Chain A
Amino acid sequence: MGLPRVSILATTEEAAPAKRAEDKVSDTFLQKLKGFSSDDLFEFLATSIGSLVLVILIVTSVVLTRGSLAVFGKFGFGFLTGTDWNTSLGSESYGALPYILGTLVTAGIAISVGILISLGIAIFLSEMAPSFLRSPLSQVIELLAAVPSVIYGFWGLFVFRFWVRDYLETPLSTYLGWIPAFHGTATGYDILTAGLVLSIMIIPTVSSVSKETMMAVPSSQREAAYSIGATRWEVVKLGVLRYGRSGIFGAAILGLGRAVGETMAVTMVIGGTPGPYVLPTSLLKGGVTLSSLIATEFGDATGIHLSALFGLGIVLFLFALVINVFARLMVWRVFKVTGGIVE
């Protein structure tokens, strides 16, 4: 049984580079085959395994596109702007707008709260912390990243939700309830809680990348600021933050990417049911995000309903792709600059 399979594998591995060589220069084909060493095989094997990432990304986009053809065929771009979510057979109607906005609003809360705390942590760790505190503190923050998201969700649902409800939402709805964004009763089972749980979850990512950026800022920047009589805060502001701003910005976008894709914790605390009324008009309302809707309905969806969920998936895929590519480019730029030109 084992033998024929092995031989098939071996032939495909050797045939493929030969084919590539044929494409390039056909007259040196035989020569190449003769000089084909185990090193070439190793390089080819490593390269093809390395390219697996590319294959995964391409296959993902193909699968999502194929799956969502039906829903885009039926509703066109109305799928992206519609607000209905009717799964009953015969009168089915799907629109993704409330969930796209739900995702953006929760991620927006997460990043605006998360960046402040993360920057505080990063500045403390890279500029101020005494060296005996630095390592244990970063370890603790790394541990925060290791906590599974479902546990954040469970904690959010049974503990954190009540803190948010009692200390944040009740005052907000009592005193600022006239602002549409804080309209509604404080339940703690809503968009605000989801955003805040997310903000905690992205702190490790954002703070560690910003810390790395800040540590990569050459000390000449700080010395220059000190030499013109800057205070400690001014040194951080002018010498470090301004210099590393694109890296910090990249870190924030990276955090945004995490927040957009996060599923479980959000699903557990956001507490809305799909339909036109979960448009995120108030932070104290239950909401639904792209990922939470996929997670809750994928199990029993069929036909065009399933296709609609694939449609949500492709929106999420595109969001994640754009955000992550952008973030990586920002972060890479900083490290390139500090690694070469400036120093």
Chain B
Amino acid sequence: MIPLASILFEVVRNGATALSVQFLTGTPALVTLPTGNAALAGGIAVSIEGTLVLMGLTAVIAVPIGLLAGVYLAEFGDNRFGRSIRFLNDVLSEFPSIVIGILVYSILVVGLRVGFSAFAGGVALSIIMLPIVTRTTEESIKLVPRSVRDAAMALGIRKWRATISVVLSTARSGVVTGALLSVARISGESAPLLLTIGTSSYFLSGLNQQVDALPVRIFLLSSENYVSGAQQQGWGAALILIVLVLCLNLAVRIATRGKYGAVRSRI
């Protein structure tokens, strides 16, 4: 409890002093102080944009795949192969994210010559998000009462149609809860992004371009803390990131109060 309180307190206290219109909308800049030293000024709009783009891209890649994989586990996964897949899925969801970074770096960035890009970052984050979405989808589908499925089958429609139109749409809010919470979780990931997105001081011009992201920016600012202004900017960026993540979390949790415990415990 104390750490959470302290983190929130420090981030808000230090971050608030960094906030300004310029900080939220500007691009990174170095200025020279009257003393002759360089100082960081400008804003982190580029990082905010990058994080939002990466979140969107990841959701677009990982949600459909994770949805189908979850359907597989719930509908066809009750055999030896299905159980091993479920097991591997749980293992992958706890995997060191930096290893995923190495994987995507080797295959996409270098292997397929995509280069450091938003796309590579999105794929890396998707691999991290996939097992979570899979399991939350599975748990939500399992909450659908047997009678709903039976009723659908009794209409004589095909199983896939029943699964998609009836079972999945009954499980909809659980699935959405899972997807939103996992997007919130990956939005703070930085280790795999270090190896995949490169860095940028400009607004995004294409998914094959290098981007910046809030977590990576915070890390870089922390390692540059000898430059004046870096620490303050870092706190500011941390404030924005934590507000983003916690708002998403709180909103989902309040909207689904008391429900989907099984779904949430998978995140």
B residues within 8 A CB of A41?
160
| B222 engages A64 (CB within 8 Å) | no
- Contact among B10, B71, B82 with A155 in the assembled complex (CB-CB below 8 Å): B10
Complex CA–CA separation, A51 to B77 (angstroms) = 11
Whose C-beta in chain A lies nearest to the C-beta of B194? A295
CB-based contact A150/B190 at 8 Å:
yes
Do B160 and A38 touch (CB < 8 A)?
Answer: yes
Instruction: Say whether A54 faces chain B, with CB atoms less than 8 Å apart.
Output: yes
Task: Give the contacting residue for A148; candidates B91, B215, B234, B235; CB below 8 A.
Answer: B215
**CB-CB nearest in chain A for B264:** A142
A50 interfacial contact with B, CB 8 Å: yes
Interchain CB contact under 8 A, B3 and A200: yes
Inter-subunit contact A56/B68 (CB<8 Å): no
Compute the total of residue contacts between A and B using a CB distance below 8 Å: 215
A154 neighbours in B (Cβ, 8 Å): 218, 222, 234-235, 238
Q: Which residue of A lies closest to B160 (CB)?
A: A42
Q: Report if A63 contacts B (CB, 8 A).
A: yes
A37 to B195, CA, bound (A): 44
In the complex, what distance in Å separates the CA atom of A267 from the CA atom of B6?
Answer: 21
| Chain A interface helix/strand/loop/mixed | helix
A69 to B89, CA, bound (A): 27
A258 located at the interface, meaning its Cβ lies under 8 Å from any Cβ of chain B in the complex: yes
Chain B residues with Cβ below 8 Å from A316 are 96, 98-99
Which of B90, B96, B160 touches A263 (beta carbons < 8 Å)? Answer: B96
Query: 1/0 contact trace for B211-248 toward A, CB 8 Å?
Result: 00001101100110100000100110010011001100
Are B96 and A67 within 8 A (Cβ)?
no
- Find A139's partner among B195, B238, B253 (CB 8 Å cutoff): B253
Within 8 A of A (CB), among B28-45: none
Minimum Cβ distance to chain A for residue B233 (Å): 11
Kindly identify, within residues 36 to 52 of chain A, every residue whose CB is under 8 Å from any CB belonging to chain B.
37-39, 41-43, 45-47, 49-52
The reply to whether B102 and A148 form a contact with Cβ atoms under 8 Å apart is no
Q: Which residue of B lies closest to A262 (CB)?
A: B96
- A260–B96 contact, CB under 8 A? yes
Minimum CB–CB distance for A293 against chain B, Å = 10
Task: Assess A147 versus B98: contact at CB under 8 Å? Given A42-B159, A46-B75, A291-B191.
Answer: no
A and B contact pairs by CB, cutoff 8 A, 28 listed: A42-B159, A46-B69, A46-B72, A59-B103, A60-B100, A140-B1, A143-B4, A143-B250, A144-B4, A145-B267, A146-B185, A147-B7, A147-B242, A149-B190, A150-B219, A154-B234, A158-B222, A159-B10, A160-B3, A261-B99, A263-B96, A264-B219, A291-B191, A294-B98, A294-B102, A298-B195, A327-B94, A332-B87
